[in-house]
Amino acid sequence: MEPLAADEIFKEFREHSIAEFFKKNRQMLGYSSPVRALVTVVHEYVTNSEDACEEAGILPDLEVRIDRISDNRYRVKVTDNGPGIPKAFLGKSLAVILAGTKFHRYMQQRGQQGIGAAGCTLFSQLTTGKPVRVVSYTGKGKAYSCEVSIEATNNKPIVKDIAEYDPAGAVRGTSVEGEFAEVKYENSDHGVYEYLKRTALSNPHTQIKLIDPDGKETVFMRSVESLPQRPRPTKPHPLGLSINDLLDFAHASSSRKISSFLVDTFARTSQGKVDELKGIAKNVDFGKEPKTLTWGEAEELINAIKSTKWIAPDASYIIAIGKEQVEKAMKNILAPDFIHVVERKPQVFRGGVPFIVEAAVAFGGGAGKKTDEGYEGNILRFANKVPLLFDSGNCAITQAVKSIDWKRYDIDMEKQPVSVFVNVSSIYIPYSGVGKESISQEDEIVEEIKLAVMEAARGVQRYVSGKMHANIESSKYNTIMRYAKQLARDLGDLTGIDQKKLEAELEKLVAKHYPEAKEAKRREEEETAESKGDDSEGVDDAAE
């Protein structure tokens, strides 16, 4: 058979919009299983509200209302007291993929892609054919409501039924409401309730009311009344730049000279620093226009930057939750028997992107996860205060926590009520996927999380190991004594020596090794005897 010609094959060549792409591959946005899909919707709206409130300097009050329409069809409405959306941006912010105020800014925010809310609109459209309804009041002018959907073939917004209201009595903020099918509300580790509980944990300044499909109201009360620091845009640190980044900045710059461009554009870059660079990058003309910078010159500049000493990036632009806040929130929500919280100093990855890790290990109380056999440890993952509930397998946090030799801290993640909390804060979180549910395994990030968690683990070790030691000793003692009895009986048969005598000898030997356990056992038996009266035979005998 003749091979098919290229001309034939390329007749099928087409270009596609990003909206068409996600329409076909919605699982990449988190719209896979029904439970996850519902959490994804709530997650996108809630993080947008949190970001908007934080940027505007407003203490967030959120309401999440979920109504069941049928078995796999729900209405989700999220209302905030944020700054609102101006009329001109109602369509663009909710119905254009890759559009927003965050993608290009060097500022810490939960959202950083401009995909989330438009993804919800697309998902509503795909599963119910309905637009999303938005009501917003910015506190000035009129209040507006409208319906938005996406024209998928070209990723453009369709805005319909726009109405304006006299704002008399209107409350500033935004409410977004959509109807979604192929979703499910479930009270599980991966459900909406758990998502909001964890959001409250990492955002102690936020108040969230959940009205679930059964009409049950839960209010996650704020445990801190003060506003967290407002996010501020900063400048990139020279050590975090690639050659290509430097070129892009240079070509977009309106500075007259490369030297002033460097001072104006990057953090920690004084005229003195530029002079230092001049001494190293001898082939670069610092007086020429940045627009004319070539790859070769940029490369020489980057090499010069790398061979120079720099002050570390200013970590004041990174907003961690704060040690006290984490402790307060964890106690508030998990009520553990013991907790140790660690806030580490800022570190950098990829040369110059700053990040901060906070970690906590909580033990006992509401920590860990109940199982059929008892308990097991769990990991509470957060990135810029946003709970990550899915895709744990590929996450830097999971990898770091799993690489720890927990025995060194007398902790058994398989059997004990332990919760490991980790929050990574940064101006740029390198997510592994578009769905933003796991952090890419960058070496520096994994290593820093590991150190933070180990420090927290050491903090609870004394408490845990005291408790553990007693348990283990007494369990070993009991086990060995049970065998000793059996052995005494068998040896008696085999040797003809009196069984009781052998048993007494063996018990003496064992007790020598486990004096504490022997003592604990004695006390325990006394207590049992006291509570049961004299007709009890004691725990060990009764178990035979």
Site for a copy of itself in 41-60 (CB under 8 A): 52, 55-58
- DSSP conformational letter for 269: -
Please select the residue that binds a copy of itself; options are 270, 287, 295, 530, rule is CB under 8 A: 295
Nearer to a copy of itself, 82 or 313 (CB): 82
Among positive and negative, which fits the CA dihedral 151, 156, 162, 167? Answer: positive
Instruction: Yes or no: say if 58 and 83 are a contact pair by the CB < 8 Å rule.
Output: yes
- DSSP conformational letter for 291: G
Q: Is 240 in the site for a copy of itself (CB under 8 A)?
A: no
Minimum separation from the CB atom of position 394 to a copy of itself (A): 5
Please give the angle made by the CA atoms of 176, 193 and 45, to the nearest 5 degrees: 20
Burial class (CB in 10 A: 0-12, 13-18, 19+), 261: buried
Please select the residue that binds a copy of itself; options are 244, 303, 403, 479, rule is CB under 8 A: 244
Please count the residues of the chain.
544
Which H or E run contains 280? Answer: helix 271-280
Instruction: Yes or no: say if 132 and 177 are a contact pair by the CB < 8 Å rule.
Output: yes
Query: Residue 451: helix, strand or coil by DSSP?
Result: helix
Minimum separation from the CB atom of position 299 to a copy of itself (A): 8
Question: Using alpha carbons only, how large is the chain's radius of gyration in Å?
Answer: 31
Of the ranges 39-47, 97-105, 266-274, 513-521, which one interacts with a copy of itself (CB under 8 A)?
97-105
Q: Is 433 in the site for a copy of itself (CB under 8 A)?
A: yes
Query: Residue 132: helix, strand or coil by DSSP?
Result: strand
Nearer to a copy of itself, 82 or 387 (CB): 82
Task: Report which of 419, 328, 427 is spatially closest to residue 106, judged by C-alpha positions.
Answer: 427
Q: Is 168 in the site for a copy of itself (CB under 8 A)?
A: no
Q: Is 6 in the site for a copy of itself (CB under 8 A)?
A: yes
Question: Which tokens belong to 408?
Answer: 């060194």
Minimum separation from the CB atom of position 11 to a copy of itself (A): 8
Minimum separation from the CB atom of position 541 to a copy of itself (A): 25
- DSSP conformational letter for 189: T
Q: Is 103 in the site for a copy of itself (CB under 8 A)?
A: yes
In angstroms, how far is CA 144 from the centroid of its own chain?
A: 34
Please give the angle made by the CA atoms of 89, 95 and 96, to the nearest 5 degrees: 90
Q: Is 10 in the site for a copy of itself (CB under 8 A)?
A: yes
CA distance 353 to 428: 7
**Residues between 59 and 78 that touch a copy of itself (CB under 8 A):** none
**Residues between 476 and 515 that touch a copy of itself (CB under 8 A):** 491, 494-495, 497, 505
CA distance 357 to 286: 38
Please select the residue that binds a copy of itself; options are 72, 255, 440, 499, rule is CB under 8 A: 440
Task: Report which of 146, 145, 157, 176 is spatially closest to residue 75, judged by C-alpha positions.
Answer: 176
Of the ranges 93-101, 257-265, 476-484, 518-526, which one interacts with a copy of itself (CB under 8 A)?
93-101
Minimum separation from the CB atom of position 207 to a copy of itself (A): 16
Question: Which tokens belong to 205?
Answer: 């300044």
Task: Report which of 417, 413, 394 is spatially closest to residue 453, judged by C-alpha positions.
Answer: 413
Minimum separation from the CB atom of position 133 to a copy of itself (A): 16
Please select the residue that binds a copy of itself; options are 60, 83, 238, 240, rule is CB under 8 A: 83
Nearer to a copy of itself, 23 or 268 (CB): 23
Q: Is 189 in the site for a copy of itself (CB under 8 A)?
A: no
**Residues between 11 and 40 that touch a copy of itself (CB under 8 A):** 12-18, 20-21, 23-25, 27-28, 32-33
Please select the residue that binds a copy of itself; options are 72, 432, 478, 536, rule is CB under 8 A: 432
Q: Is 403 in the site for a copy of itself (CB under 8 A)?
A: no
The torsion region of residue 4 among left (phi > 0), alpha (psi -120 to 50) and beta comes to beta
Task: Name residue, tokens 């052998």.
Answer: 502
CA distance 403 to 287: 51
Nearer to a copy of itself, 315 or 434 (CB): 434
Q: With CB under 8 A, what is the number of residues at the site for a copy of itself?
A: 82
Nearer to a copy of itself, 58 or 263 (CB): 58
Minimum separation from the CB atom of position 156 to a copy of itself (A): 10
Of the ranges 306-314, 340-348, 393-401, 445-453, which one interacts with a copy of itself (CB under 8 A)?
393-401
**Residues between 114 and 133 that touch a copy of itself (CB under 8 A):** 114, 125-127, 129
Task: Name residue, tokens 């770091």.
Answer: 400
Minimum separation from the CB atom of position 411 to a copy of itself (A): 22
Q: Is 145 in the site for a copy of itself (CB under 8 A)?
A: no
